[in-house]
Amino acid sequence: MSKKSIMVLCLVATLSAQAQTPKKATPAKKTTSMEKTGQTKMVEKVTRKGSELVIPYEKYRLPNGLTVVVHEDHSDPIVHVDVTYHVGSAREEVGKSGFAHFFEHMMFQGSDNVGDEEHFKIVSQAGGDLNGTTNQDRTNYFETVPSNQLETALWLEADRMGFLLDAVTQRKFEVQRETVKNERGQNYDNRPYGLVYEKKAQALYPYGHPYSWTTIGYIEDLNRVDVNDLKNFFLRWYGPNNATLTVGGDVTPAQVVKLAEKYFGSIPRGPEVKNMKLPAPVLAQDRYISYEDNVRFPMVQMTFPTVPNYHPDEVPLDVLSEIIGGGKNSIIYKNLIKSQKAVQANAGHPCSELAGEFTLTALPIPGNSLADMEKELRNAFAEFEKRGVTDDDLERFKSGYEANMINSLSSVAGKTSILAAYQTFTGNPNYLTNQLKANRAVTKEDVLRVYNKYLKGKPAVILSVVPKGKPEMVAKADNFKVDPDGYRAPADQYAGLKYVKAKDTFDRSKRPASGANPVIKVPPFWKDNLANGIKVIGAKNSEVPTVTLLFTLLGGHKLEAHDPSKAGIASLTAAMLNESSEKYTAEDISSQLQKLGSSINFGSGTETMTVSVSSQVKNLDATLALLEERMLHPRFDPADFDRLKKQRLEAIKNQSTQPTVVANNVFNKMLYGEGHIKAVPVIGTTATVESLNLDDVKKFYANYFSPSVTNLVIVGDVEKTQIMPKLAFLNKWAAKPVNIPAEPKVANIDKTKIYVVDKDKAAQSEIRIGYMALPYDATGDYYKATLMNYVLGGAFNSRINLNLRENKGYTYGAWSYFSGSEAPGPFTAAAGVRTNVSDSSVVEFMKEIKRFREEGITDEELDFMRSAIGQSDALKYETSFQKASFLNNMLRYNLDADYVDKQNQILKTITKEEINALAKKYLPLEKMNIMLVGDKGSIKPGLEKLGYDVVELDPDGAPILAKADAPAVTAEPKKAEPLKGRKARKEGRVF
């Protein structure tokens, strides 16, 4: 098995966040042997029997305590390396929160034999990608690289495990402290509902409990500590005996063990680390707390303490959370969403190593109070008592769990991460077997038992989040304050720690040789056409027994140019197609899909509508029958339309509370100009959506949902001869001509100006800089411009990111990119920066763009770009999703079968002179828009000193001052994902 899946992020975050030490399961086939003390020990070997769901591996332990787990998989020439340390924010002390996460940042700042910022550069240049993440219970570092780079990846990880501290300087400490503050500002303080977990944790757990603060920590704690505190944290927790090295992919266990012994074996053991176990929090009564936030919708969240991960009661509580508020068949969905009382409502049961939380959340639609919502959430429990647990409930949950698990095994990164998490928290990499047994064995009686034990009549923490200036909206007045009395600090664990370096018999300063690059082949594919005009392209992928279908219908939001007063109709039509069919209600379809372990989703974007289907091979026929119902026989129920329209209107109004959304919308409005449909958000505006009726949806579907503009990509464990007959039902879909409007001319930029949108008291400023650039072209100037931009703002080690993030500490991440399609798209440079450096950040952005345009690329940067992009091919085609995206591009842009070879030839032969000419041509500094969304009172005075005209705009992009002559407009440019890890939890998110 191999290949990536979307579910792996959620699954791995859940697995790696928690654990007790459970009994080990007997794997399919397991052998063990122990060698003499002082030598590496082979602990066990697990193999697969037949088609059972298991990840084969071998497990070893080095004399210094490092655990090594190896999964061999030669399906792709790539390898995933993961080093997990059993330390997270739960190991921190009161007054020193945020250390574990802070140290994650410091681990990328160089070590004795790896220069500053070189870790990212070396992995990127090798064609790989990398990251690090921290949660309450562990910190992990990982790389996915071509298999010839295995030794380099292990050398890098070993160097920072054993040779870090002399490279930790005060200056690096200060810069990364600012970066962490920026991360907190971006993801917590400046994000609506960003402080929910922090506030809840303070009330749910006793003062001093390791879960009573968040992983990011408090600003005052970050300000208080010094570099020696940080070094002590490393010495206490980062020893090899508190780590697991897991390697998966195109390797052999013998190869990995030999290299692990070479690079990690001489690193001394650290202090012993014992697992923690704490009693569950005890609440004597309901604790009501609240805070004010920059939100449109108030929110109430009710949280009950439960059990740690892997506790026998965890799975029954998971089932209960699904029944109460986990989907379209849940009680909360029926009572709050379907009835139009709430814009969002759900239940979840996230668990961690030391504790679990059963959480219910509701955001009311205006006209319903938080007190009403609290009552409704409590009523859901009462209804559950009457309703009980059904056979369907259990079947949906069990089928969904197994389908998600299968999907999570579709990549070496996914499998490696699962092995690492199970080893870290259970000591058994094969704990997947136990998890499957627990899920298959759960009964109705188990679910009723845990309800009575943990929820019925039990106190909870009830958190209200209300708009600023409206404290009267809370569900109930606060009755709880954090009380530090009685807290006893734990014994000091940091006294007498000494830094002892490894002594080697080889020169560790020499970077390992890489060997020959693996031979990469574009996946073989086949093409066909259906009688009604659908173009089909497919590829076999037998790594997991699943099939993915992706329909792409050209048009989408762009079709609304025919009648801009109906903007948002494409998106609303797609939402309606996710609802009921003529034969089945939306709840019926959702239930059947869950039982099948399948999914069907309709969506709409700027230029396309999409239909994505995922199914296990064994359930493909049943899934396609449901697809036929939804695609060809939509019910278009008036009640569904009324509910979805109301939700959209509320979501549009809510955008004003989200700085990143405001920035993206206003930036697009400025770029495209008045009258351009892409100047309007895909979701529409209040005025356009209010004008829509159900007949508009039916008309849009009838006119534009057509096979004549449809491409279909099929990737999975099926042959063409198997799948094509199953798609015969699509020929019932009658073709009709679809007139896709031509792109109007975009607004001109006469000269570079600064535009400011006020976001009162914003913790950060969102910056967007750019202009309308190029249409997509696989082998022309667009492709070459992306090569040019790579070292400017396309890589972590780009000039822009190294300057603003790593050198200045202004931001959590800064980047630039081109984003074109059939029509020209923008060049964008973007970042979220601290308010007090908004003007300085603009200066640095423009300085880097100007310097690159005038001075060009260096020889070293050209070599780096060629190597990084050229070797990354090994990672491009691993998963079904990656193959589907590749094939979809081929159809959409009518690309030749050898276009990848042509790109590689361009990459090899492009010269400095060509790159520099592209920079001069496509970085027009004098004709770019500079736009900031932030606290005007704080940022405008500094911006006015930069020598540009400064124009104020309202949140809709309209000029406020008479002198403003800016082209006005909105849409949503693609935003790069931040490079550091984010937590994923088993609960619903709020906006």
pLDDT tens for each residue of 548-603: 999 999 999 999 999 999 999 999 999 999 999 999 999 999 999 999 999 999 99
In residues, how long is the chain? Answer: 991
**Which residues lie closer than 8 Å to 646 by C-beta, 6 or more apart?**
340, 365
Residue 660 pLDDT level (bands cut at 50, 70, 90)? very high
Element (H, E) at 882: helix 880-892
- % residues pLDDT > 70 (the chain): 93
Angle (CA) 457 458 462, round 5°: 115
C-alpha to C-alpha distances, 563 to 229, 567, 576, nearest whole angstrom: 62, 7, 20
Helix residue spans in 205-313 (DSSP H): 219-224, 227-237, 253-264
Domains and CATH numbers, the chain: 29-264 (3.30.830.10), 287-411+423-473 (3.30.830.10), 526-732 (3.30.830.10), 753-878+895-953 (3.30.830.10)
Angle (CA) 474 477 481, round 5°: 115
C-alpha to C-alpha distances, 698 to 368, 693, 736, nearest whole angstrom: 31, 9, 15
Say how far apart CA 455 and CA 779 lie, in whole Å.
60
Helix residue spans in 579-693 (DSSP H): 586-596, 620-632, 638-654, 659-672, 686-690
How would you class 818 by CB atoms within 10 Å of its CB: exposed for 0-12, middle for 13-18, buried for 19 or more? buried
pLDDT tens for each residue of 391-438: 999 999 999 999 999 988 989 999 999 999 999 999 999 999 999 999
SS3 assignment, position 92? coil
Q: Secondary structure of the chain: what % helix, strand, coil (to 5)?
A: 45, 20, 40
At 441, list the tokens: 């064995």
At 676, list the tokens: 């351009």
Residue 978 pLDDT level (bands cut at 50, 70, 90)? very low
Higher pLDDT, 720 or 31: 720
pLDDT tens for each residue of 495-505: 999 999 999 99
Tokens 């770019």 found at:
928
Instruction: Give residue 908's Cα distance to chain centre.
Output: 32
Say how far apart CA 674 and CA 968 lie, in whole Å.
6
How many other C-beta atoms lie within 10 A of the C-beta of residue 979?
18
- Whole-number pLDDT of residue 986: 34
Say how far apart CA 331 and CA 337 lie, in whole Å.
10
Does the structure show a pLDDT above 80 at 25?
Answer: no
Residue 516 pLDDT level (bands cut at 50, 70, 90)? confident
pLDDT tens for each residue of 77-118: 999 999 999 999 999 999 999 999 998 999 999 999 999 889
In contact, 812 and 179? CB cutoff 8 Å: yes
- Whole-number pLDDT of residue 368: 96
C-alpha to C-alpha distances, 202 to 18, 94, 306, 747, 895, nearest whole angstrom: 19, 12, 16, 51, 55
Angle (CA) 420 422 424, round 5°: 65
At 404, list the tokens: 């998600």
Mean pLDDT of 522-535: 93
Which of 521-525, 638-642, 795-799, 921-925 has the least mean pLDDT?
A: 521-525
Q: Which of 1, 14, 122, 143 is nearest to 79 (CA)?
A: 143
Say how far apart CA 589 and CA 584 lie, in whole Å.
6
Say how far apart CA 226 and CA 99 lie, in whole Å.
11
731 φψ region: left (φ > 0), alpha (ψ -120 to 50), beta (else): alpha
In contact, 915 and 791? CB cutoff 8 Å: no
In contact, 789 and 823? CB cutoff 8 Å: no
Does the structure show a pLDDT above 60 at 698?
Answer: yes
Say how far apart CA 924 and CA 335 lie, in whole Å.
55
Looking at every residue in the chain, the average pLDDT score rounds to 91
Mean pLDDT of 251-264: 98
Does the structure show a pLDDT above 90 at 60?
Answer: yes
How many other C-beta atoms lie within 10 A of the C-beta of residue 867?
16
- Sheet bearing 526-529, strands edge to edge: 526-529, 535-540, 710-716, 546-554, 608-616, 599-604
Does the structure show a pLDDT above 90 at 979?
Answer: no
In contact, 89 and 214? CB cutoff 8 Å: yes
Q: What is the DSSP string of 535-570?
A: EEEEEE--SSSEEEEEEEEE-GGGGGGG-GGGTTHH
- Whole-number pLDDT of residue 977: 33
- % residues pLDDT > 90 (the chain): 84
Which of 245-249, 359-363, 708-712, 867-871 has the least mean pLDDT?
A: 867-871
- Whole-number pLDDT of residue 961: 57
Mean pLDDT of 774-779: 96
- Whole-number pLDDT of residue 542: 87
Q: If you count DSSP H runs as helices and E runs as strands, how many of each does the chain have, helices first? A: 32, 25
How would you class 141 by CB atoms within 10 Å of its CB: exposed for 0-12, middle for 13-18, buried for 19 or more? buried
Does the structure show a pLDDT above 50 at 10?
Answer: no
Residue 38 pLDDT level (bands cut at 50, 70, 90)? confident
pLDDT tens for each residue of 133-163: 999 999 999 999 999 999 999 999 999 999 9
- Whole-number pLDDT of residue 348: 97
pLDDT tens for each residue of 826-865: 999 999 999 999 999 999 999 999 999 999 999 999 999 9
Does the structure show a pLDDT above 90 at 328?
Answer: yes
Does the structure show a pLDDT above 50 at 645?
Answer: yes
C-alpha to C-alpha distances, 397 to 312, 382, 595, nearest whole angstrom: 16, 21, 8
Report the amino acid identity of residue 55: I
Say how far apart CA 468 and CA 457 lie, in whole Å.
32
Helix residue spans in 239-308 (DSSP H): 253-264
- Whole-number pLDDT of residue 543: 85
